Amino acid sequence: MMPMMGMQPQIILLKEGTDTSQGKPQLISNINACMAVVDTVRTTLGPRGMDKLIHDNRGVTISNDGATIMKLLDIVHPAAKSLVDVSLAQDAEVGDGTTSVVILAGEFLKEAKPFIEEGVHPRSLIKSFRQASVLAVQQLRALAISLEDKHMEEKKDLLKKCAMTTLNSKLVSGEKEFFAQMVVDAVSVLDPSSLDLKMIGIKKVQGGGLRDSFLVDGVAFKKTFSYAGFEQQPKSFSQPKILVLNIELELKAEKENAEVRLDDPAKYQSIVDAEWNIIYDKLAKCVASGANIVLSRLAIGDLATQYFADRNIFCAGRVDSGDIERVTKATGAKVQTTVNNLDPRVLGTCERFEERQVGAERYNLFMGCPEARTATLVLRGGSEQFIDEADRSLHDAIMIVRRALKHAQIVPGGGAIEMGLSKYLSEYSLQFSNKSQLFIKAYAKALEVIPRQLCNNAGFDATDVLNQLRQKHALADGSGKNFGMDVNTGGVCDTYEAFVWEPALVKINAIQAATEAACLILSVDETVRNPKSEVPDAASGAAAQAAMAGGRGRGRGGMRGRGMRR
C-alpha cells in the first residue's frame, strides 16, 4: 500500500482541552447572547415598565433598575458580560438610563447582525457606528435646552421635573411629586463645589406609608446600643454644644495583658482606685468642656452613661463612622482622640437636637445645622423589599438632580430625542455614496427602539405611535421636534411642554456607552476558553497537574486526566 502523500501532522498550539471558536459563527453567537440579556431587561423600560423579582442566595430583590438587575443576573457568557459592565458604568457615571443603555447596545447589534451574515466586514460597521455616534452626540448637544441662566427658585422647579421623570418609571411613581421635592431639597443643601453623595444619608425604617418619609436638614441616625441610665438623659436640646470623640469611655484595665505585682495586699485597693480615677478624670473633662451631647465612635460604658445622665448630658457610643463624618461636617465639631485640653472651638452646634420615635426605632436628629452641607432622608414603607427599591429609586433621582445641577442642560424625554436623532442621522446618511449610508441608516433605525419599547411596555400599538412620531418629526418647520410618546393616552405629545425632561448628559452617556459596547462585541471574532483555568481554586493545583500528566490518555489509573481532589 502506498503511503499517503501530503499528510501534514496536526499542529497543536494550545493546551489540550482548550476550546476555540472563531469567525463569523462566533460573532453571530456573541450577538445572540447579548440579545438574550437585553430581552431580560427590555420590559423594565419606562413609566409602565414591569418589575423583576430576583431570588438568589442573598434573598429576594424586586427591582426595575437596569443596573441592579444586570448586577444580580449571574452572567457567565464572556461577550454578554460587557453589557453588564456598560450598565454599571452608566449607573456610576450618571445614575439613570441603565436600562436604556443596555437596550440601545442590543439594538445596535441586532441591526448589525444581517450585515455580518451577508459577509460585511465588522470593521466597516464599527467605523460607521462610531461616526454615527459622534454625529448623534453633536446633534443632541445642539438640541439640548440650557437651564444655566435661571435663578435658583426656577432652577429648583426644573430640577424637580427632572427628578419626577426619573421616578416615573420606579415603584414609588405614585408619590413621585413628594419624593422629587424631597430629593431636590436634599441635593440643594450640598456643597455646590463638590456635591458629595456621601453627605446625603438614607435611613430605612420599616412600617408606616411612603408618605411618612421625611427629610432632616442635618443628620439623623438610629439610637445606638445604650446602658442603664440612658433613659434619665435629656432627649432634646436647643442650640447644644456637641463633642465628638474617638475614644472609649469605659471602665476597664488600660492594658488587657498588664501584670501588677504587689508586695503588700493593702496596696491592691489603690490599684483599683487608680482605674476608677482615670475614667472619672476623663468624664469630668468632658463635662468641663461645656458639651451637652457627647458622641463617640467607640463604646460609652454604663458608668459613663449614668455619670452623664446625672449631669443632664446626652451621650451615644458606637456611632457609625459614616454618621460621625456627617455630624462633624454639619455641626462643625472636630473628632477628638483625647479629652485633655478640650478647646471650645472643637465643639459643634446645631439649632435643635431631639430623639424621636420613628416606627419601631428611635432616631437621634440634629436639625438646623449651621454648616449644613448634609441632609438625611428617612424612608418609611411596608416591606423590606419595597423600602430597598425606594432607596434605589431615590439614588437614581439624587444622581440625576446632582448631574443636572452641574450640567444644566436638558432634552425632552419620552423617546422624543431618539426620534429626532434618528431622523437627523437618516437624512445625514444620504451624504454618503458608499456602504456607510446603509450602516448609518441602520444605526438611526436602532435609536427608534426606545420609543418602540416604551409603547410595548405600556401596552400600546408601537407601529401606530412611531408613525405618528415620524410624521411630527418630519415637519419642515421643526415644530414637532419635541414630540415623544404619551404614556397616559397612548398617543403622542410635546414632552417638553409636558415636563418629561431628562438631563442631556444621561442621553449622551447612554449613546456613547452603548455604541462602545456594540463596537467592542463586533470587534471580537474569536473566543479562547481554557477549561483548566476554570477549575475551582482549592483543587486547581492538584487538578491541573493530574490533568497535564493524564493528558488525553487514561492518565493515572484510568482517571481520564481529571485530578483527584486531595
Element (H, E) at 70: helix 66-72
Query: What does the DSSP 8-state code read for residue 225?
Result: P
Question: Please, are residues 163 and 400 in contact by the beta-carbon 8 Å criterion?
Answer: yes
**What is the rounded CA–CA span in Å between residue 142 and residue 139?**
5
Summary count for the chain: helices (H), strands (E):
17, 21
Q: How far is CA 376 from CA 392, 399, 415, 514, in A?
A: 15, 15, 34, 34
Dump the DSSP string for 232-292.
Answer: GS--EEES-EEEEE-S-B----SSTT-----S-GGGHHHHHHHHHHHHHHHHHHHHHTT-S
User: What burial class does residue 103 get, using C-beta atoms within 10 Å of its C-beta: 0-12 exposed, 13-18 middle, 19+ buried?
Assistant: buried
Question: Please, are residues 78 and 84 in contact by the beta-carbon 8 Å criterion?
Answer: no
Dump the DSSP string for 431-457.
Answer: T--STHHHHHHHHHHHHTHHHHHHHHH
**What is the rounded CA–CA span in Å between residue 429 and residue 435?**
10
| Alpha helices (H) along 169-220 | 176-188
Within 8 A by CB and 6+ apart from 203, the residues are: 220, 221, 222, 363, 376, 377, 378, 379
| CB burial readout 340-371, b (16+ within 10 A) else e | eebeeebbbbbbebeebebeeeebbbbbbbeb
**What is the rounded CA–CA span in Å between residue 105 and residue 516?**
8
Helix (H, G, I), strand (E, B) or coil at 557: helix
- Which residues are part of the catalytic machinery? 65, 98-99, 396
- Hey, which residues does 249 pair with through a beta bridge? 300
Handedness of CA 124, 125, 129, 135 (dihedral sign): positive
Nearest Cα residue to 42 out of 2, 83, 82, 89:
83
Phi and psi at residue 96, to the nearest 5°: -130, 175
Question: Please, are residues 172 and 393 in contact by the beta-carbon 8 Å criterion?
Answer: yes
Dump the DSSP string for 113-180.
Answer: HHHHHTT--HHHHHHHHHHHHHHHHHHHHHH-EE-TTS-HHHHHHHHHHHHHHHHHTSGGGGGHHHHH
